Amino acid sequence: MRLGLVVDLDSCVGCHGCATACKQWNTSGTIGPLSDKAPYGRNPNGAWLNRIRTYEVDDSPNSKTVHMPMSCMHCDDAACVTVCPTGASYKRSEDGIVLVDQDKCMGCNLCSWACPYGARELDPQEGTMKKCTLCVDRIYDEKLPEDERKPACVMTCPTKSRVFGDFDDPNSEVSKLVRERAGKQLLPELGYNPVNTYLPPRNKPVVEQYQPASLKDTVKGWVNKVISR
Amino acid sequence: MHPAFSVLVFTVMSGAGYGLITLMVLGHMSGFAPQEDSVLIGGGVLALVMITVGLLSSTLHLANPKNAWRSFSRFKTSWLSREAVFAVLFYPFTLIYLAGVWFQGVEVGTFVALCGLVSAVLAMVTLFCTSMIYASLKTIRQWNSSLTPVNYIALGLMSGSLLLAAVQALVAGELAAVQLQMAMGLLVLGAVVKVVYLFWIGKPAGSTIKTATGFTQASVRLLDQGHTSNGFLNNEFGYTVEANKLVRLRLLMLALAFVMPFLLLLAASSALTVIAALLVIAGLLVERWLFFAEARHVVRLFHGDQRT
Ligand code: SF4
Ligand code: SF4
Ligand code: SF4
């Protein structure tokens, strides 16, 4: 199994709901707490496992606002795991999930340097590395109803822009989406082979722009209207 | 990259210490350098102090040092783990060698000589592992090059050679021509290696905001990073220095670490040699600071940088 997420950049509205749900679930999950420093101060700072950034792509009149949520991509070739000197970071062979053993991490930051996607953040209080767990404590929980055995971010997304599944299964929803919508990996040139895949926005017709007419044309059009009556 | 002071001190001090012990042992074994046991002991103790201070300083940047002992456990994959293992392995061999010199004088037995050679090799291997921690990161193009280990080893040997000449001046009271020539040769080598590196990182290369976001056929600009104040990623990777300050610091580095020590060594005076050694250490601290400050991690692309 290669578990991961597909994120649809066409429908994501940048509401930050997934990031908030992620923080809420995981702060009391297996790698919790996710501490904050000065949460009500002037410069709040804390560990989040999911961040949403907003870009403007292309130039007017073709420009488009794109919201890009990013969490750990659970890379096939995860250098964050190989650089870790303590063995705290590891990749599970059964499903490909990359995790940090909080009892072993010494907080050297090296894995966050090795990660191209900014997926790892040091907990300011605990001094250990935090990252997306793919909600490993939800997806296998047999006490949850079957359709809730999904990551918290996927459950909460109001536009269903996040899809969870097995990329090794060619008939899974994620594999079909990647095939049909030409899913893309970020920074493919670095060779990490990220599992999470992004569906590019669909091309939409260019909005016609209002073209102001010259004074002469405006008067002419107005006169023509009056005369034709 | 944010230059953490503890890491600057660690890499400069331990690099100089490893360079010193290597050159000293090789000089002793080959019989080139003047043979005095007081110089060997003095140099050995200085190297051990610098390496130990460096290693202790490196643990200061750990956020959870109580697990530091676990860092020996991933020798197979992690350069940091390899560095830790070799750094510890280095101690017994060096201590046996120095004890041998202490008790037997310059004419040491085969076993002690062997331990000395092993400690010289381990010193270079440890320095190489340190440099590979940085050189192996594909995320930082300014580090991901064979120039990084070449720089670390050349500058380690260079600062070690000046320390050796300074120890000779202080302990034996007179300079040795071989050591001065070696120090001057290594200063030239170090300067060449550093200038090549500076030219190399100046060439545009690497990932861009387009490959980072996947929109390779259009321009991409950051509108909002998603949080109002800086987080871990901003603090760790967002470190930016103004271009004119960088130029000034590069000149300061070249003057302190290479040009001034070289001119001081030309005078062939004991006092000036000691000053030259101190200048090199100060210059290399600037050099290491720049090594970090000029390194641009790819995460910066997601925060709006157009290229690395
Ligand atoms: S996204 Fe980063 S943290 Fe996650 S597996 Fe890849 S390299 Fe590691
Ligand atoms: S911060 Fe923790 S998980 Fe990351 S490399 Fe260091 S010890 Fe490993
Ligand atoms: S899968 Fe879970 S841990 Fe990962 S971003 Fe989503 S909610 Fe957070």
Interface contact flag, A70 B218, Cβ < 8 Å: no
Establish if A188 touches chain B: CB-CB under 8 angstroms.
yes
* 3-class secondary structure, B279: helix
User: 232-261 in B: which are within 8 Å (CB) of A?
Assistant: 232-233, 236-237
Mean pLDDT of B233-261: 96
- Confidence label for B204 from pLDDT (cuts 50, 70 and 90): confident
The answer to whether A68 touches A137, Cβ cutoff 8 Å, is no
Assess whether pLDDT exceeds 70 at residue A229: no
Class of domain A3-228: alpha beta
DSSP of chain A: --EEEEEETTT-----HHHHHHHHHHTTSTT----EESTTSSS-EE--S-EEEEEEES-TTS-EEEEEEE-----TT-HHHHH-SSS-EEE-TTT--EEE-TTT-----HHHHH-TT---EE-TTT-SEE---TTHHHHT-TTS-GGG-S-HHHHH-TT--EEEEETTSTTSHHHHHHHHTT-B-SSGGG----S-EEEPPPP-PPPPPP-PPPHHHHHHHHHHHHHH-
CA distance between the termini of chain A: 74
Interface contact flag, A85 B70, Cβ < 8 Å: yes
Establish if A158 touches chain B: CB-CB under 8 angstroms.
no
Which parts of B203-227 fold into alpha helices (H)? Answer: 209-213
pLDDT of residue B167: 95
| Pocket lining: A115 vs ligand 1, CB cutoff 6 Å | yes
pLDDT of residue A138: 96
- Confidence label for A213 from pLDDT (cuts 50, 70 and 90): confident
Mean pLDDT of A80-84: 98
pLDDT of residue B25: 96
pLDDT digits (tens, 9 = 90+) for B147-183: 999 999 999 999 999 999 999 999 988 888 999 999 9
CA A67 to chain centre: 9
Please state, rounded to an integer, the average pLDDT across all residues of chain A: 95
| Pocket lining: A26 vs ligand 3, CB cutoff 6 Å | yes
Assess whether pLDDT exceeds 70 at residue B61: yes
CA B41 to chain centre: 23
pLDDT of residue A98: 98
Mean pLDDT of A184-189: 96
pTM for the complete prediction? 0.93
pLDDT of residue B3: 94
The domain locations on chain A are 3-228
Assess whether pLDDT exceeds 80 at residue B184: yes
pLDDT digits (tens, 9 = 90+) for B286-307: 999 999 999 999 999 999 999 9
Written as six digits, the tokens of A11 are 């429908």
* Residue whose structure tokens are 């000053």: B275
pLDDT of residue A61: 81
Residue % of chain A over a pLDDT of 70: 99
Ligand 3 pocket mutation, candidates A132, A141, A156, criterion most atoms within 8 A of CB:
A132
In 3D space, the residue among B38, B81, B186, B159 whose CA is nearest the CA of residue A104 turns out to be B81
The amino acid present at B307, given as its one-letter code, is R
pLDDT digits (tens, 9 = 90+) for A42-56: 999 999 999 999 999
User: 191-210 in B: which are within 8 Å (CB) of A?
Assistant: 207
Mean pLDDT of A88-100: 97
Give how far A43 is from chain B: nearest CA, Å: 5
Ordered structural domains, chain B, with CATH: 5-302 (1.20.1630.10)
Residue % of chain B over a pLDDT of 70: 100
Sorted by sequence, the CB contacts under 8 Å of residue A8 that are 6+ apart come out as A159, A160, A161, A162, A163, A177, A181, A199
pLDDT digits (tens, 9 = 90+) for A15-39: 999 999 999 999 999 998 999 999 9
Assess whether pLDDT exceeds 80 at residue B207: yes
| Pocket lining: A117 vs ligand 1, CB cutoff 6 Å | yes
